[in-house]
Amino acid sequence: MNMNNQEAKLILQAYRPGGEDASDAFFAEALEQARKDPELQKWFAEETAFNSRLQARLENAIPIPAGLKSNLLALRKTVPVTPWWSRPANLALAAAILVVAGLGLLFLFPQRPAQLEAFRDTMAERSLQMQDHVEFQSHDLAKIEQWLQTSGAKTDFNLPAALEGGVPQGCRIVDWNGQKATMVCFMVNGAHMDLFVMDRTGLANFPQGNGPQFASAEGLMTATWTDGKNIYLLTGANKELLQKVLQST
């Protein structure tokens, strides 16, 4: 009986991001399923990236002292150990530590994974993909809009004025958690830029009215903003280029 995606996800959630489990037979079938299924492969990449960030943050937040292992082994030889469960006070302390640690993780990671960060990474990866970069090629915005409408993609959005003066190269539809994000590719003064637009419900927690948020993703600079009904994400080579394009928004 073949493994389905849900069963594979349950197994892959235990996969360590460092690659230590790559040769473990327990994960073999689930990894093979991820290689064959693009949707599962995308989920596994996001899950692995999140686990790597979590591991790095915990390691930075709680540095391990040098010689800790040898010191603990030395104590084990010289100090008689009383089972912790026989000491009620220690049991209460352990419970309190777990509660505090859990609250700390909530503050460090309010969303799992950070929706905006994952959205940036996915769109930046799409922007960097040169092969089949666009599904529909055209230098005519009217034809691009017509193709998007025929494909059931979002077209009720406002372009920054600087992009309207650029040369469109084409468009495509990008899937994001079951929603359709519109991508329109431009050349602006010789620079390649991609604009992604999605219904705001896809990133419901994105703050409104604070201006564009700039962040690096996959080696590109991104700017993300909202007009209330839509989420916009623009990719480019550097922050100065994006700021220049967005001055007119």
Question: pLDDT higher for 73 or 16?
Answer: 16
Count the neighbouring beta carbons within 10 Å of the beta carbon of residue 28. Answer: 13
Does the structure show a pLDDT above 50 at 2?
Answer: yes
Same domain? For 185 and 96 the reply is no
For residue 183, give the H/E element and its range.
strand 179-188
Residue 196 belongs to what domain range? 115-246
- Span 9-57, pLDDT tens digits: 888 888 887 677 878 888 888 888 888 888 888 888 878 777 766 666 6
Three-class secondary structure of residue 136 per DSSP: strand
Q: Minimal CA–CA distance to 233: which of 170, 98, 190, 246?
A: 246
What integer pLDDT is reported at residue 165 of this predicted model? 82
Same domain? For 67 and 102 the reply is yes
Same domain? For 138 and 66 the reply is no
Q: Minimal CA–CA distance to 182: which of 166, 199, 169?
A: 199
Same domain? For 104 and 119 the reply is no
We report the CATH number of the domain holding residue 194 as 3.40.1000
Same domain? For 182 and 69 the reply is no
CB of 221 closer than 8 Å to CB of 237: yes
**Sequence-separated (6 or more) residues with CB below 8 Å from residue 246:** 160, 162, 212, 223, 225, 234
- Degrees (nearest 5) of the Cα angle 205, 47, 20? 155
Question: pLDDT higher for 16 or 222?
Answer: 222
- Span 103-119, pLDDT tens digits: 555 555 444 446 888 89
Strand-pairing partners, residue 171, are 136, 184
Q: How confident is the model at residue 65 (pLDDT cuts 50, 70, 90)?
A: low
Three-class secondary structure of residue 208 per DSSP: coil
Same domain? For 127 and 233 the reply is yes
Q: How confident is the model at residue 248 (pLDDT cuts 50, 70, 90)?
A: low
What integer pLDDT is reported at residue 166 of this predicted model? 87
pTM (two decimals): 0.55
Domain ends where: 74, 108, 142?
108
Same domain? For 82 and 133 the reply is no
Same domain? For 177 and 207 the reply is yes
Q: How confident is the model at residue 188 (pLDDT cuts 50, 70, 90)?
A: confident
Percent of the chain past pLDDT 90, that is, above it, reads: 26
Domain ends where: 61, 89, 108?
108
**Sequence-separated (6 or more) residues with CB below 8 Å from residue 76:** none
Q: How confident is the model at residue 227 (pLDDT cuts 50, 70, 90)?
A: confident
Same domain? For 37 and 121 the reply is no
Same domain? For 239 and 129 the reply is yes
What integer pLDDT is reported at residue 112 of this predicted model? 43
Q: What is the average pLDDT score of the chain?
A: 80
State the total domains in the chain. 2
Question: pLDDT higher for 249 or 46?
Answer: 46
What integer pLDDT is reported at residue 134 of this predicted model? 93
Domain ends where: 44, 75, 108?
108
Same domain? For 129 and 51 the reply is no
Same domain? For 69 and 153 the reply is no
- Span 149-176, pLDDT tens digits: 999 888 888 888 888 888 999 999 999 8
